[in-house]
Amino acid sequence: MNRFENRIAAVIGGGSGMGRAISHRLAAEGAFVYVTDLSEEAAEKVTAEIEEKGGKGKAVRVDATDTASLQALFDTIEAEHGVLHVLHAQVGMPGPGGLELDDAAWQRNIDVNVKTAYYSTTMAFPLLRKANGKGSVTLTSSTSALIGSPFSPIYSMTKGSLVPFGRALALNGAKDGIRVNVICPGQVKTPMLAQFFGREPGADVSALTADFVKTIPLGRGAEPEEIASVIAFLNSDDASYVTGTTIPVDGGLTAQ
């Protein structure tokens, strides 16, 4: 499939895990992908992988908590292409466990999980409007936004904010033909997974992961590529009448 041929995409947080898989999938379907990450090395590695497979992309170091850094990215895209068709916001972090957070930890979680999503998407709108009705935004939230996390209420709070934000952004963008959708992954086999189950010192990550898998109706965690396939669909013309939705990608976890 070449659903993104001659289209420009930017993945905010594309250097590892789900973001890496999404960058690869969009490039494989023809997009020129701006692979952005806080780690320039990670962004360059993913871009090199894409190019080795015949795809096209560019690595850009972006601190998505910094609006100046984001603006520099969009200025670059405008100068080089003049348009953006796909913006995917992947940046996030697992919140600390429990209820006791100091001000610095609370602010850090807000900055990474909320501020990055807000500014990376809204600042992209001027370029998305130039896509002649083909502009699309996707955001990665979490099943913890839908069912709550007893382990990290701050994580549910911050990721939960993306669900109504996505709906509001979809309504705002509809007049310009910009679609906006949110996905809520469950357990995904990424490097960050250990951080979710290793919040407490001395936690047995393997045992906790295995126990959680038992609660998933399909009996397994997701591969990053399975998340990428949903993102590719939502940003493609195959989903041209889909906007303002929130889709769990969780093996049936939230259906129980």
pLDDT at 201: 56
Mind listing the pLDDT tens digit for each residue in 76-123? 999 999 999 999 999 999 888 888 889 999 999 999 999 999 999 999
Average pLDDT along the chain? 94
Mind listing the pLDDT tens digit for each residue in 223-251? 999 999 999 999 999 999 999 999 999 99
pTM for this prediction = 0.93
Centre a 10 Å sphere on the Cβ of residue 41 and count the other Cβ atoms it contains.
11
- Residue 198 pLDDT > 60: no
Mind listing the pLDDT tens digit for each residue in 31-77? 999 999 999 999 999 999 999 999 999 999 999 999 999 999 999 99
Q: What angle do CA 42, 122, 183 make, to 5 degrees?
A: 65
pLDDT at 237: 98
pLDDT at 1: 80
Mind listing the pLDDT tens digit for each residue in 174-197? 999 999 999 999 999 877 655 555
User: Looking at the annotation, which residues are catalytic?
Assistant: 155
Q: Do 73 and 60 meet the contact criterion of CB atoms below 8 Å apart? A: yes
Distance CA 18, CA 88 (A): 11
Multiple choice CATH, 8-249, 3.40.47.10, 3.30.110.70, 3.40.50.9100, 3.40.50.720: 3.40.50.720
pLDDT at 31: 98
pLDDT at 196: 55
